[in-house]
Amino acid sequence: MSTENDENSETRKSIGARRNPASQEAILDAAEYVLRQSGLAGFSIEAVARHARAGKPTIYRWWPNRTALMLDVYSRFKHVRPFPDTGTLRGDLIGFLDRQLLGFWSDGLPGLVYRAVIAEAQNDDDAAAALQDYQAERKQWAAQIIERAKLRGEVPETTDATLIIDLVVAYAWHHLLLGQLDEAASRIEAVVDTVLRGITGYKEVVP
């Protein structure tokens, strides 16, 4: 009669060999479960492997550290919220700050996970690299907000799309790390209007 360990070994072998999207999704499902049930303190590759009935080498083959795995779980949360396309730059930036950043992080687990990722990136080069890769991809998507505004003639062609997104994201990150999401959310429109004045209406005062 097969023992539980034998069954687990067969399952681990099967998951590790297939290397298909279904297997990866099963591990991500397990990672999300562990995060929701045990929080950040109980989240580890070992805990995910136990719940997914997968071998640790399989998980490390696809995610070199727990930060990379957390970021993929976080990305799944994020992908259910498409980038806004309201027809105006002001509306898009307000939606970006609300739905993609501050409002999203206020919804419990996503904010906790992202704060943990940022914290780990301060002392772990691999975690920092994973965060930088994730941010680079997200900025490319977010920059389309500015590029659409250029096509509509709302902002000058020379507007630096990446810089504008950096300014908006920096405001959100600052308040995430300070635990001030509600306060930040109450000023979304003021922040966006300030950025827009900087893009379209700033005139340097020469003494």
pLDDT in tens, 19-72: 467 788 999 999 999 999 998 899 999 999 999 998 899 899 999 889 999 999
Within the chain, which residue ranges are assigned CATH 1.10.357.10? Answer: 74-200
**Averaged pLDDT, 99-105:** 92
pLDDT in tens, 103-160: 999 988 899 999 999 999 999 999 999 999 999 989 999 999 999 999 999 999 999 9
Cβ count near 94 (within 10 Å): 18
Q: Which residue has the higher pLDDT, 6 or 38?
A: 38
Q: Domain 74-200 in CATH: superfamily?
A: Tetracycline Repressor, domain 2 (1.10.357.10)
Which residue pairs, CB below 8 angstroms and at least 24 apart, start in 76-84? Answer: 76/28, 76/32, 77/104, 77/109, 77/110, 78/104, 78/110, 83/141, 83/142, 83/144, 83/145, 84/145
pTM of the model: 0.79
**Are the C-beta atoms of residues 115 and 177 closer than 8 Å to each other?**
yes
Burial string for 32-55 (b: 16+ CB within 10 Å, else e) reads: bebbeeeebeebebebbbebbbbb
Q: Specify the amino acid at residue 96.
A: F
pLDDT at 201: 67
Confidence bin at 193 (pLDDT 50/70/90)? very high
How far, in Å, CA of 30 to CA of 70, rounded?
Answer: 11
2.40.37.10, 1.10.10.60, 3.40.50.80, 3.40.50.300: which CATH number matches 4-62?
Answer: 1.10.10.60
